[in-house]
Amino acid sequence: MCGIIGVIDRTMSRMDGSSIKEALSLMDERGSGEGAGYVAYGIYPDYADCYAIHVFFDNLLEPKTMVDKILQTWGRIVHQEEIPTYEQPGLKKEHISWRYFFKPYTDLMVGTTNPDDDNVKRLVMSINSDVKGALVFSSGKNMGVFKAAGWPEDVANFFRIEDYKGYIWLAHNRYPTNTSGWWGGAHPFNLLDWSVVHNGEITSYGTNRRYVESNGYQCTMLTDTEVVAYLFDLLGRQHGLPSETVVTALAPPFWDEIDEMPEKQEEFLRTLRLTYGPALMNGPFAIVVATKDGIVGFTDRIKLRPLVVGENGSRLYISSEEAAIRTMDPEVKTIYMPRAGEPVIGRVTV
């Protein structure tokens, strides 16, 4: 059980975080007060060219000194500050949330088509696995994740998310079953521009984890969802597949359906499935993934978790519950439920 909601304004008109807080809090039945989080795109226009690196520090001595040193070796810290937080009675502050605006040195990474992203990806992996007391939980440009162990409203108030304005928002209310509620285990999970919220369990985690790890990612969050962010980064960014094709690789049609398709489509899906068999995800899930250009929502192949879509003009909503969408936008026009494994995509149009 978990509650998820996402929204995109396709014209990139920005919304503040107050309504998504309300919508997420409506789904408290789907959480247990052990984790909630938000991500918004478009929140740092002043530093739009920098990677906004959000870090949980256990303290600002050794871990921060090490992270500073690593970042300064591989690039330039344009600006850094503590993320402002506001004490909440129901939320115990366990980490210091810090943000860096960072520009990697492009010439330090050779042999890749996207050296800056690869550089930052490598930094995130190395800090998360090697620096004790530091956890990078957000690393994209002009976007940021805010999350903690607590109820949705407490987490929102703690970071005062209504102060941020974004054209894409995702939010998550956690009912943990894999690991106890800890800040790193709260959703959204993020790597570069990819952010993921997930309701469910990934029974193929062992296989998926092995696959991403053999491709240079390291799983450090102690829960199954982080592989989704890495799978999207691997298939979407590194291998260049369009989002809908990534979704098809992760939740492909059944062989019986593939066998019946026209030859070209059959060949495509068979090739895709053979190539990305270890990326196929199993188990119950409803997932929304965001990147700077849009969002995509999808469920597992037999739809063991709910997913509802709402549309109103330039806005597209994807959530576990219709009521959450209606809370966010009482004027919502169209409401429908996608089929199992079918991607629902909202792209920016400007």
Partner 1 sequence: MSLGSVPLKYKISIDRDQCMKCMRCVDNCSYGVYRIEDDKILIDSRKCTACHRCISMCPRDAINLQEKPVDYRSHPLWTAEAREDVINQARSGKIILAGMGNARDYPVIFDRLVLDACQVTNPSIDPLREPMELRTYIGKKPAKLEFTKNNGDIDLTTKLAPNLKLDTPIMIGHMSYGAISLNAQLSLAKAVAKTGTFMGTGEGGMHEAIYPYQDHTIVQIASGRFGVDIDYLERGAAIEIKVGQGAKPGIGGHLPGEKVCADVSCTRMIPLGSDAISPAPHHDIYSIEDLAQLVRSLKEATNWEKPVFVKIAAVHNVAAIAAGIARSDADAVVVDGFKGGTGAAPKVFRDNVGIPIEAAIAAVDEKLNDQGIRNEVSLIASGGIRNSADITKSIALGADAVYIGTASLIALGCRVCGNCYRGLCPWGIATQKPELVNRIDPEIGAEHVANLIKAWTLEISELMGAAGLNSIESLRGNRERLRGYMLDQGLLDVLKIESVGA
Asked whether position 212 contacts partner 1 by CB under 8 A, the answer is no
The C-alpha atoms of residue 290 and residue 316 are separated, in whole angstroms, by 12
Asked whether position 306 contacts partner 1 by CB under 8 A, the answer is no
Report DSSP state, residue 306.
-
**Distance of closest approach, residue 215 Cβ to partner 1, in angstroms:** 6
Range in contact with partner 1 (rule: CB under 8 A) among 115-123, 157-165, 198-206, 315-323: 198-206
**Distance of closest approach, residue 302 Cβ to partner 1, in angstroms:** 6
**Distance of closest approach, residue 289 Cβ to partner 1, in angstroms:** 19
The C-alpha atoms of residue 263 and residue 115 are separated, in whole angstroms, by 38
Q: 94-122: buried (b, 16+ CB within 10 Å) or exposed (e) per residue?
A: ebbbbbbbbbbeeeebeeeeebbbbbbbe
Report DSSP state, residue 113.
S
Q: Do 116 and 109 form a contact (C-beta atoms < 8 A)?
A: yes
Asked whether position 298 contacts partner 1 by CB under 8 A, the answer is no
Residue of 2, 8, 145, 309 marked active site: 2
Give whichever of 275 and 349 is closer to partner 1, judged by the CB atom: 275
Asked whether position 215 contacts partner 1 by CB under 8 A, the answer is yes
Give whichever of 85 and 175 is closer to partner 1, judged by the CB atom: 175
Pick one of 37, 166, 200, 310: the residue that binds partner 1 (CB under 8 A): 200
Tell me the torsion sign for CA atoms 26, 31, 34, 39: negative
The C-alpha atoms of residue 245 and residue 218 are separated, in whole angstroms, by 24
Range in contact with partner 1 (rule: CB under 8 A) among 63-71, 116-124, 298-306, 316-324: 298-306
Asked whether position 275 contacts partner 1 by CB under 8 A, the answer is yes
Asked whether position 287 contacts partner 1 by CB under 8 A, the answer is no
**Distance of closest approach, residue 239 Cβ to partner 1, in angstroms:** 5
* Helices and strands of the chain, counted as H and E runs: 10, 18
Asked whether position 138 contacts partner 1 by CB under 8 A, the answer is no
Pick one of 160, 239, 266, 322: the residue that binds partner 1 (CB under 8 A): 239
Q: Do 100 and 53 form a contact (C-beta atoms < 8 A)?
A: yes
DSSP 41-88: ES--GGGTTSEEEEEEES-SSHHHHHHHHHHHHHEEEEEEEEPP---B
Helix ranges (H only) for 141-262 are 152-159, 205-214, 226-232, 243-250, 255-259
Catalytic residue list contains 2? yes
The C-alpha atoms of residue 290 and residue 146 are separated, in whole angstroms, by 15
Asked whether position 210 contacts partner 1 by CB under 8 A, the answer is yes
- Residues that contact partner 1, how many (by CB under 8 A): 41
Interface of this chain with partner 1, residues 31 to 60, rule: CB under 8 A: none
Range in contact with partner 1 (rule: CB under 8 A) among 153-161, 252-260, 311-319, 342-350: 252-260
Asked whether position 180 contacts partner 1 by CB under 8 A, the answer is no
Helix ranges (H only) for the chain are 18-26, 62-74, 115-130, 152-159, 205-214, 226-232, 243-250, 255-259, 263-275, 322-328
Asked whether position 347 contacts partner 1 by CB under 8 A, the answer is no
Chain residues binding partner 1 by CB under 8 A are: 1, 177, 200-201, 203-207, 209-211, 213-215, 239, 241-242, 245, 254-256, 267-268, 270-278, 280-284, 301-302, 304
Residues designated as active site = 2
